[in-house]
Amino acid sequence: MNRWYRRILISVILLAGSGVSTAQEQDLRLVVTTRQTPTQTSLDLAIGIQIRDDQQRIVPVAALQSASVVVDSHEPVPALVTAEAIPAKIAVVLDASGSMRQHASSLQEKLAAALKQSPAGVEFALFVFSGPAIRTLDPVLDFTDDQRAISSILQTAYDPQVGSPTCLYDALVSVQSFLSASPQPADERAVIVITDGKDEELSGYPCSQSTLQDVVAGSANTIRDTDSTVVSQGIPIYPFGICTGIGCSNLDQEALTTLADDTAGFGQVGPLNDLDAFIKQLLAGYANRSVVQASIRPCAEQYATLEIRLIGRPDPLLTRIPLAAHPCYAPRAAVSLGPLIQTATGFTLNATLKNVSPVVLTALNVQLLGPSNTLVYSQTIPQALAPQASVAVDLSIPSDQMAEQGNYILQLEAVDFAGNRFVTEGRDSTDPRLAIYDFAYDPAEVQLVSAMPVIDMAQASLVIEDIQVLQGTEDVQNVAQWARMQVLIMDGDLLMYQSDPQPFSKQSMDITIPLTALSPSITTRSEDYEYHLILRLLWPDRPEVNSAPLPLLVPKLGLGGFWRGLGWYVLGHCAAFLCGGLVWRRIGRLHTRP
């Protein structure tokens, strides 16, 4: 069997309204039947719902405000609500014990008339039972929508016999087995049982070997696997009790209520004249069923939550939908990204992945979208990562395809062997991106341009003024991102001086270095000498940029110019030190004087 294209049918029940907001709101009963179709990308749900009030009247589709389905912590998936007729196969089980003989003629007439009201797609099978010792109960008429055949068989096959007991539970268990084994499992199943007695012999002892609990269990969700279908379904029971005694003492009303309530059906006790209204109300649920359609992407979850909101009712109706076996559509992974570092050929990025799903992560897809939201680079990295395992992956993004200036988006996707994409915890399960990294990039070259550096004798300093940073032909506006600047003095290929990196920004475009910070071999030459000065731009996420060599003329050693400036510089510092010492000494004497 191809499990990707299974259709699954599940029936569940919720009794809602225990916490109603106002006294005017009625208790509502929500009966849910779900067809589940696994596809390669999602689990498609078609959820048939019946909302009935405490009088068993169906809430119309127009009263539904909205519906949604939630899987675990995912965002709610909005659902489409429509009204459809639901195909169904309904077993009509008739008590043919001795006490029913007085009702036979009337029952044949009224039941035939009531079943003629059935909507399209609903078929009936007729069963007649009494007892004792029912092992297998075969239908007197198999499933059909031929009303003439139904009327005819009612007249000929239904003939209650005086003295026959009512083996109700054995009959229902046998009918349940017949329904579970019948073909076309996608159709809904149901049982209508009509009786005027209790499960007992004429002596008053129980007639059936089966119990009430056996019947309830037989209507619960059961799973059956065929060549093409996996079926998980419940079988609601709709009992109608014909009341003939005082206080309807001829019936076990508590047992009939249990049959209805515990199997997602409903029942009624009353005169036979009420049968037509009872069946009409029952069949209305198949003629005007609200169908909620949604596509979900569960992984290891076994349940989804259906939320129904009604117009004028503040509190939603909630019920859990059991999910049959399905693929892991949205496996989970946790991811952390390191800094994006620019290199001479592109970018590097470290990603740490942890597989927190029950399936193996098989590959990591890297995609880069350009400023116009077009794919400029993609790469698939094979990576076998077992459940609950972690791995660090170094990613390399070449910049040769990044021709536009603007914002780029780096996207990471991880997939399993079936091609299902992993999602990050907390992210919408429909978002295929495991991680997203946005960054700005300009393919134009960054250049350093400055005026001629000079030796300022008056300040005894090397001064570099009017430094300009260009990218392409435009002045870089946010120079603060470059962060650091270095000064190098070269004598040919020989490095004579290298400053420590210092902050550099738009507000501080000049660099001043005291001559005393330079090596004496630079500043104490016997003749004028030309060195070359290089400015180096440093920042954390891009490679360094060096300016073109700039000429730096250092004056020769002598009594003027350079040495005069240096002498005044040293002399000034000595005078300041001497004056400071004299002031301190004077202050000390004042404090020691009596």
What is the CA angle 334-338-339, rounded to 5?
145
CA 274 to chain centre: 49
**Pair 207, 131: CB distance under 8 Å:** yes
Amino acid at 551: P
Measured CA distances, 159 to 98, 108, 146, 165, 518 (Å):
10, 10, 21, 14, 122
pLDDT at residue 563, rounded to an integer:
47
Give me the phi and psi of 458, to 5 degrees please: -65, -35
pLDDT at residue 199, rounded to an integer:
94
> In the numeric block, which tokens belong to residue 294?
């949604």
The alpha carbons of the chain give a radius of gyration, in whole angstroms, of 44
SS3 assignment, position 569? helix
Task: Identify the helix (H) or strand (E) that includes residue 179.
Answer: helix 168-181
Q: Which of 415, 380, 376, 416 is nearest to 395 (CA)?
A: 380
Task: Identify the helix (H) or strand (E) that includes residue 124.
Answer: strand 122-129
Largest CA distance in the chain: 144
**Pair 327, 298: CB distance under 8 Å:** no
Residue with tokens 């009512």: 166
pLDDT at residue 19, rounded to an integer:
30
> In the numeric block, which tokens belong to residue 79?
């659902």
CA 206 to chain centre: 53
Give the β-pairing of 494-498 and 8-16. Answer: unpaired
* Alpha-carbon torsion (486, 492, 493, 496), positive or negative: negative
What is the CA angle 557-562-567, rounded to 5?
105
Give the β-pairing of 141-144 and 122-129. Answer: antiparallel
Residue-wise pLDDT tens for the chain (594 aa)? 343 334 444 444 444 433 332 223 557 878 777 778 888 888 898 888 888 887 777 788 788 899 999 987 677 899 999 887 778 899 999 999 999 999 999 999 999 999 998 988 899 999 999 877 677 889 999 999 999 999 999 999 999 988 889 999 999 999 999 988 766 555 788 999 999 999 998 888 999 999 999 999 988 764 443 333 333 457 889 999 999 988 899 999 999 999 998 888 899 999 999 999 999 989 988 877 788 999 998 888 888 999 999 998 888 988 888 887 888 888 889 888 888 887 767 888 899 999 988 899 999 999 999 998 899 999 999 989 999 999 999 988 888 888 888 899 999 999 888 888 888 866 665 677 888 989 888 776 777 776 778 998 888 999 988 787 776 666 665 554 556 889 999 999 999 999 998 877 666 678 899 999 999 889 888 889 999 999 988 876 567 888 889 999 998 864 344 445 555 556 666 666 676 666 666 665 555 555
Give the β-pairing of 237-242 and 188-195. Answer: parallel
Domain boundaries in the chain?
A: 3-84+293-322, 88-267, 332-440, 446-557, 559-594
Distance in angstroms (rounded) separating the CA atoms of residues 191 and 173: 11
Distance in angstroms (rounded) separating the CA atoms of residues 390 and 373: 31
**Pair 412, 406: CB distance under 8 Å:** no
Q: Which residues pair with 439 in a beta bridge?
A: 408
* Fold assignment, 332-440: Immunoglobulin-like (2.60.40)
* Class of the domain covering 446-557: mainly beta
Distance in angstroms (rounded) separating the CA atoms of residues 333 and 426: 10
Task: Identify the helix (H) or strand (E) that includes residue 106.
Answer: helix 104-115
Distance in angstroms (rounded) separating the CA atoms of residues 352 and 338: 8
Residue with tokens 């002596």: 203
* Fold assignment, 88-267: Rossmann fold (3.40.50)
Distance in angstroms (rounded) separating the CA atoms of residues 468 and 451: 9
pLDDT at residue 567, rounded to an integer:
56
For 550, how many CA atoms within 13 A lie in the half-sphere containing its CB? 21
Measured CA distances, 592 to 205, 582, 588 (Å):
124, 16, 7
Q: Which residues pair with 52 in a beta bridge?
A: 29, 58
Give me the phi and psi of 420, to 5 degrees please: -70, 135
Distance in angstroms (rounded) separating the CA atoms of residues 88 and 111: 18
Measured CA distances, 182 to 41, 174, 189, 571 (Å):
31, 13, 10, 113
**Pair 534, 447: CB distance under 8 Å:** no
**88-267 shares its CATH topology with 446-557:** no
334-339 LR contacts (CB < 8 Å, sep 24+)? 334/424, 334/425, 335/412, 335/424, 335/434, 335/435, 337/435, 337/437, 339/540, 339/541
**Pair 531, 552: CB distance under 8 Å:** yes
